[in-house]
Amino acid sequence: MDKLIIGAIPFFLLSVALEALALRHAAHDETDPDRPVGYEVRDTRTSLAMGVGHLAIAGTWKLVWAAILAAIYVVSPLHLPTDAWWTWVALFFVDDLAYYAYHRGHHRIRLFWATHVVHHSSEHYNLSTALRQDWSPFSATLFWLPSALLFPPWMVFLAIAWNLLFQFTLHTEAIDRYPRPIEWIFNTPSHHRVHHGSQPQYLDRNYAGILIIWDRLFGSFEPEGERVRYGLTTNIETYNPVRVAFGEFAALWRDVRGARRWRDRFGYALRGPGWSPRQGAAEASRTEGHGGQGASRPAPARAA
């Protein structure tokens, strides 16, 4: 995985430079002057810094991750033949479903969101945004553990890498929409723009890696309609990489420390972003009033 991603760095940087040149005159949306488009120097610098930090930390953690996957693979009786073409087809689908589960989980559980919020912290949407990655990649390991029952670690890491490479191409406004069959099956820039939107109808939508079919199957798909406004429901207003990386962890710790009951402490950590004891009490009241039905949807995943 590392070799593939590191080998692609020149492609990443060249693509960012070319897109920046193409958009150098686009400072704002003509129909909405307050909506930033294109590139902004401080924002891009922060995204690049986050990407470099992620490579260093994730590369070190990969040694532990590989050991965990190898231990599972050794004891599993379910090995698929690595030289069979259908094994690679199975790997593609298993990895993409694992990514969907990882992505959805990191929007619905605040402890995980504290990691993933980094990727959503920019109010710009361009190829450099794809490089804005977290500095605490440890929770991702959980979602690929089942893959090690079937595939050796090197195959698992290879699939993760090709999924990430594909997703780099999604972070652009230069492409409107692909032909309808492609838009129906695959994740596209249009679908992923929705995922980065801060409007209510776009929150917690389009978790796909490569295939958008998972969102269609599991009810999390939303087509692009209203022009997307990027960022968080409450933006962080900083370009400091350390604050970007760990600001939500600090906010989570303040909430946990200030809670009076252990139930509330666990709620802050394990419920959706934006959850509070008051909201939990309101949900319980509604549930009791409807005979155990009608529990509300978790709070917006990008409520900081």
How do the pLDDT tens digits run along the chain, 304 residues long? 567 788 888 889 999 998 988 887 665 555 565 666 778 999 999 999 999 999 999 989 999 999 999 999 999 999 999 999 999 999 999 999 999 999 999 999 999 999 999 999 999 999 999 999 999 999 999 999 999 999 999 999 999 999 999 999 999 998 999 999 999 999 999 999 999 999 999 999 999 999 999 999 999 999 999 999 999 999 999 999 999 999 999 999 999 999 999 999 999 999 999 898 887 555 544 433 333 323 333 333 454 3
| Phi and psi torsions of 29, nearest 5° | -70, 125
Domain membership of residue 43 (yes or no) is: yes
Q: Which helix (H) or strand (E) holds 156?
A: helix 153-168
How many domains does the structure of the chain reveal? 1
Separation between Cα atoms, residue 235 and residue 237, nearest integer Å: 6
Please name which of 135, 150, 55 lies closest in space to residue 97, comparing C-alpha atoms.
150
Buried b (16+ CB within 10 A) or exposed e, 139-171: bbeebbeebbbbbbbebbbbbbbbbbeebbebb
Domain membership of residue 202 (yes or no) is: yes
Q: Containing domain of residue 136, as a range?
A: 2-230
Dihedral angle sign, alpha carbons of residues 260, 106, 142, 7: negative
| Residue 250 exposed, middle or buried by CB count within 10 Å (0-12, 13-18, 19+) | exposed
Global pTM exceeds 0.75: yes
Domain membership of residue 6 (yes or no) is: yes
Contact 134, 89 (CB under 8 A): no
Domain membership of residue 297 (yes or no) is: no
Domain membership of residue 260 (yes or no) is: no
The amino acid that residue 296 corresponds to is: S
Tokens at residue 240, please?
């400091």
Other beta carbons within 10 angstroms of residue 26's beta carbon come to 14
Domain membership of residue 264 (yes or no) is: no
Domain membership of residue 272 (yes or no) is: no
Domain membership of residue 274 (yes or no) is: no
Residues in the chain: 304
